[in-house]
Structure 1
Amino acid sequence: MTNIALIVLDTLRKDRFDEYFEWIPGLRFENVYSTANWTAPSHASMFSGHYGSEIGVDAKSPALPDEPLLPRQLQKSGYTTRALSANHVAAAEHKFDQGFDEFIGPTQILGGDANIFDWEKFQSNHSEISDVKKYAIGVWKCLVDDCSTLPSLRAGFLISQNKENKIGQDDSGAKSVLKTIQDTKFGKEEFLFVNLMEAHSPYDPPESYKTGNSQRVTIKNTFTGVSEPEEVRAAYDQSVKYLSDIYREIHEELSQTFDFIITVADHGECLGENGYWGHAYGLFPEITHVPLVISGNGLDGTVETPASLIDVYQTILDLADISGDSRGQSLLNGPEIIPRLAEYRGLLPFAQQSLKQLDLSDNKIGRHNNHLYAVIDSSGYGYERMDGYVGHAEQKHIDDIRNDLKEYTPKADTDVSDEMLGHLEDLGYM
């Protein structure tokens, strides 16, 4: 009977992890790279063992596919599957709740009450009706369903006004996650997925960690820069310091019940390197180089072998003694050096609209919308930029891997609720 936790520290750079998270025990992987530059496709790889392009998850279509991904496979094998996600992308609206017996999403986490009406799931299940009618039905359900009525109504109102973040708390949800974990009676054969957003823009840690104002980085800053770069970097570092402190408490709590805890980031963040900010564009190593530690009895040391988030899926199946089809390999079996791909498949459609407000030429926006690829191999990391290929990895591996892929491009998902547009803007994707 093995309990497994997958904890994603969203937007945490590898260099900052090395600086602030030395306390995490376990087996550390020094050369792990994401498969993409942002949340949806990188999580898709961890949940499927395939690249986002293979299962139709990218900037134009962020929802997970209707197929048996990691949570469903664990569920069918007898696991109780639970999720705590503070991320509005990794939410029910994008089908991240598939295969989970219990999925507590951003509204409940940011509201500090797991019994708040699940507005994300409700919106996902009623996408065919107008926002006005949807809101009215949601209000009615807050009144008649078994939920915390007044907090649910308040959450719904704030969501409708795109003001949901940090409802009644001073962080991005980690304290609520800690309390939920403390209040949960975990059994045997448990799988827990957590996404923590403290390192994601807006950088707004509790007041005791701040030396200045909160800072926000958006796709527009890719083109305009930021007015106070040192203040932005300081706010990011303060957010990471807080994340380290609160995650130490979460990790200690989980260690009492879970046999294995996989701590990982889905991607990193540019903080002015190469003239870029955030992670909405490109495959710079500041974005793709991510931390990964597996904590568990007898696990210790450092692994230098290059690896990818695509390997997380097979690693968890291996821990659970479940077979599955995957491009990845288990990281616990002395991983081989296998070239791995990272994909940038363009800007979010609504980011393009936002950039047009800057009076940028269609040509400049179009060049930033072109697909880019990167590869990690025995020689290191290499990545495509608009001005050519940079790095030590052999560029030919990109074509070799892509020629072996069966890319699936679903119809672009343009049916996005006003609430989700507000969340995407708040997260800096617009």
Structure 2
Amino acid sequence: MTCPTAPNIVLVMTDQHRAGFTAGEGFALDTMPFLDSLAADGTRFRRAYTTAPACVPARTSLLTGRWPSTHRVRQNSTPDEVTRGDDLLDVLGGAGYQLFYAGKTHMYRGKAEYFDAFSGPYGHVSGPDTTTEQRAFAQWMNSIDMGPTREPTPFPVELQFAHRIVSDAIKQVDARDRDKPFFSWVSMPEPHNPYQAPEPYFSLFDEDEVPKRTCGPQAAEDKGGAYKWLRDLVEEKRPGYDRLHRRYRATYCGMLRLIDDQLRRLVDHLKAQGVWENTLLVFVADHGDYAGEYGLQRKGAGMPEALTHIPMVVHGCDIQSRDNDRDFVSIADIFPTLCETVGRGIPLGVQGRSLWQMLTGADYPAAEFADIVTERGYGGLPYPEDARPELHFPYEGTKYDELNSVTQSGSSRALRHDHYKIHQHVDGGGELYDLATDPMELTNRWNDPKLRQVQADLMQRLQRWSLRLTDDLPDGNYDPNLPRHNWHRT
């Protein structure tokens, strides 16, 4: 479909959604057939990455086009400490867009005052619960201690947050000013824990047919550090929890299908309203999920592919039909891409790169997208694996937060290039993996003489990114020579 000067933009974001879990990405189960159909008709990025495997830092990167070390939001507890220039809402609002939001916020823009229509905030166990049924559902969600549940959710699909959020987004679109374009941000809390699903989704994928995980609890023991600390903590709190890992994976897949059905409902409504032909849709997740790998659930320790590799699909308005398995792209690239979509300049301080030329079939430099960086950590040195510092939750009881003082301690960067991945840590340690033969990053080849030249090349690339992520803000008397499309390599 041809893109108008100011297309409607729909951004659908999922939370803790691991890449590679749809049939179109090679997964054995058909979890998201509708998303796969959009990807087949648009562009799927098979090498898309988050800037950080944590909600608030990643969502801040989407809004600002900046990495956590620069926008300064390096943990979930500091959303309002953001350092930025103009962000996505500033640019689209300045371009005459109506701004709609429905769903989970978990960001510095998560208030009604920033939008023309706002529905939320939704969390992971409750939302804007106004009816008796909604309050009962929230009470039940609190009672299951983040799951996974062993039985289907005893509430209908209509009470699930994904359904309610899409209903809210539909109402916002229907009430729009038809003389102006709109930006609709639809932010679903799922498939983030609690892991639960009503029928038919709970039983849609049997535990025995869900693909086996690649590695179990021994991998966390072998990797040590935060992996072992987190594994030991959860086993201490919930002895034998890993025995439910197949149920957890089956429910996770069912939650993906529930999301997919709601995505289809949203698009069907846009078609019925006659606006789909003039709409650009971006589908992205903030970060991934262990999905049972390493004997872990949720997220927290390290930057494995399970957490940093994310789904990203762009459909509509001049977007080429392309399965892009070559270019490394980031969640931080979405903002500068949308700037160029609506004909606006990329603000000073944005570090992401525009993908618009790539999406529409124009020439672009392959070298610019030959590698990508992810960050982790709030600072200081990493705690040792036997540490017992005071946490923001008690060591006693079953409740825990996988993002805590230990798992997020220190600072690290990881770089992906070709089929390699390198990690550098603030304490001088490092990791190097050949993902072609070791996709779960179990054999550290940092000191392998056979990869010495590979390591040198990757470290040079990582250093180039370190320079690139030096902040251009604040603006001053000097006039920076800003690159076109934010491309530094041509």
Which consecutive residues of structure 2, in runs of 5 or more, have no partner in the other structure? Answer: 1-5, 147-152, 208-228, 236-240, 359-363, 383-388, 398-403, 435-453, 473-490
Question: Which of 36, 39, 43 is the aligned partner of 1:22?
Answer: 36
The verdict on how the C-alpha distance between 1:308 and 1:44 changes in structure 2, with shifts beyond 3 A counting, is: same
Distance in 2, matches of 1:322 and 1:208, equals 45
Contact 1:203 1:235 in 2 (8 A): yes
What residue number does 1:377 align with?
417
Question: Which of 302, 307, 312 is the aligned partner of 1:282?
Answer: 302
TM-score by length of 1: 0.71
Contact 1:221 1:277 in 2 (8 A): no
Residue 26 of structure 1 and its aligned partner are, at CA, apart by 1.1
The verdict on how the C-alpha distance between 1:104 and 1:66 changes in structure 2, with shifts beyond 3 A counting, is: farther
Letter in 1 for 2:306: E
The verdict on how the C-alpha distance between 1:247 and 1:370 changes in structure 2, with shifts beyond 3 A counting, is: same
What residue number does 1:310 align with?
332
Distance in 1, matches of 2:125 and 2:268, equals 22
Contact 1:111 1:169 in 2 (8 A): no
Distance in 2, matches of 1:163 and 1:403, equals 47
Instruction: Choose between structure 1 and 2 for higher RCO, CA contacts under 8 A separated by at least 6 residues.
Output: 1
Partner SS, residue 294 of structure 1: strand
Letter in 1 for 2:393: S
What residue number does 1:293 align with?
313
Q: Structure 1 residue 265 and structure 2 residue 265: aligned?
A: no
Contact 2:65 2:352 in 1 (8 A): yes
What residue number does 2:482 align with?
none
The verdict on how the C-alpha distance between 1:298 and 1:2 changes in structure 2, with shifts beyond 3 A counting, is: closer
Partner SS, residue 252 of structure 2: helix
Letter in 2 for 1:176: R
Letter in 1 for 2:335: Y
Contact 2:58 2:287 in 1 (8 A): yes
Q: Structure 1 residue 70 and structure 2 residue 109: aligned?
A: no
Contact 1:110 1:176 in 2 (8 A): no
Q: Aligned residue pairs: how many?
A: 360
What residue number does 1:340 align with?
372
Contact 1:172 1:198 in 2 (8 A): no
Range with greater deviation from structure 2 (45-54 or 17-26): 17-26
Identity %: 20
1:88-120: CA deviation from partner (whole Å, max 9, x where unpaired) = 524xxx44336422221135998887xx7xxxx
Distance in 1, matches of 2:306 and 2:411, equals 18
Range with greater deviation from structure 2 (187-196 or 55-64): 55-64
Contact 2:102 2:166 in 1 (8 A): no
The verdict on how the C-alpha distance between 1:260 and 1:404 changes in structure 2, with shifts beyond 3 A counting, is: closer
1:227-264: CA deviation from partner (whole Å, max 9, x where unpaired) = 32111111111111222222222233345425200011
The verdict on how the C-alpha distance between 1:193 and 1:292 changes in structure 2, with shifts beyond 3 A counting, is: same
Partner SS, residue 371 of structure 1: strand
Letter in 2 for 1:89: H
The verdict on how the C-alpha distance between 1:83 and 1:388 changes in structure 2, with shifts beyond 3 A counting, is: same
Distance in 2, matches of 1:95 and 1:324, equals 19
Letter in 2 for 1:78: G
Residue 317 of structure 1 and its aligned partner are, at CA, apart by 0.9
Q: CA RMSD in A?
A: 4.1
Matches within 5 A, 1:105-184: 105-107=120-122, 151=131, 170=157, 172-184=160-172
Contact 2:284 2:310 in 1 (8 A): yes
Structure whose CA Rg is larger? 2
What residue number does 1:81 align with?
99
The verdict on how the C-alpha distance between 1:251 and 1:37 changes in structure 2, with shifts beyond 3 A counting, is: same
Distance in 1, matches of 2:92 and 2:337, equals 13
Contact 1:306 1:378 in 2 (8 A): no
Distance in 2, matches of 1:384 and 1:272, equals 25
Residue 400 of structure 1 and its aligned partner are, at CA, apart by 3.2
Contact 1:265 1:290 in 2 (8 A): yes
The verdict on how the C-alpha distance between 1:162 and 1:231 changes in structure 2, with shifts beyond 3 A counting, is: closer
What residue number does 2:480 align with?
none
Contact 1:109 1:176 in 2 (8 A): no
The verdict on how the C-alpha distance between 1:99 and 1:66 changes in structure 2, with shifts beyond 3 A counting, is: farther
